Amino acid sequence: MSKPELIAFLHEEIVKQGPIPFSRFMEEALYHPAFGYYTSPGEKIGPQGDYYTSSSVHPIFGELLAKQFHQMLLSLGEGESGYTLVEMGAGKGSLCFDILRYFQRESPPFSAA
């Protein structure tokens, strides 16, 4: 989908400052407050959106990751405390939700920690 306002904004910046790096182009294309993909209205992920991610297809993806995280953390010897899992690029938060739900169901002590 073409966004004439974004194109005009980028064109003006290039005219004023000269060539811009690809990273700057992507920053504006994705996050410009008025014209960016992620800041524009509308569903992005799922059946009504533009794409699917593994975590938005089925909760089993998050549960499998949670099971692996649990095994890994237990094997590190710290038991069920002392670690923080961070989800980067959370989208709708479904991956984090599925991981937490797994821990709550399968290992309440780990979940509490």
Q: What is the mean pLDDT of residues 6-33?
A: 95
- Give the count of alpha carbons within 13 A of 59, CB side only: 6
Shared domain check, 34 and 61? no
46 located within any domain? no
> Does 58 lie in the same domain as 21?
no
Per the CB < 8 A criterion, the answer to whether 30 and 36 are in contact is yes
Same domain, 58 and 107: yes
- Cα–Cα–Cα angle for 17, 22, 27, nearest 5°? 85
Residue 59 lies in a domain: yes
What is the residue range of 31's domain? 1-41
Total domain count, the chain:
2
Residues 2-28, mean pLDDT to the nearest whole number: 94
**pLDDT, mean of residues 90-106:** 87
Is residue 73 in a domain?
yes
> Can you give the three-state secondary structure of 16-29, one letter per residue?
HHCCCCHHHHHHHH
Do the domain assignments include residue 92? yes
Given a cut of 70, whether residue 82 has pLDDT beyond it is: no
Q: Is residue 48 part of a domain?
A: no
Q: Does 106 map to a domain?
A: yes
* β-sheet bridge partners, residue 45: 51
Asked whether residue 105 falls in the same domain as residue 75, the answer is yes
Tell me which of 56 and 35 has the higher pLDDT: 35
Average pLDDT, the chain: 85
Same domain assignment for residues 66 and 99: yes
Query: pLDDT at residue 97 above 70?
Result: yes
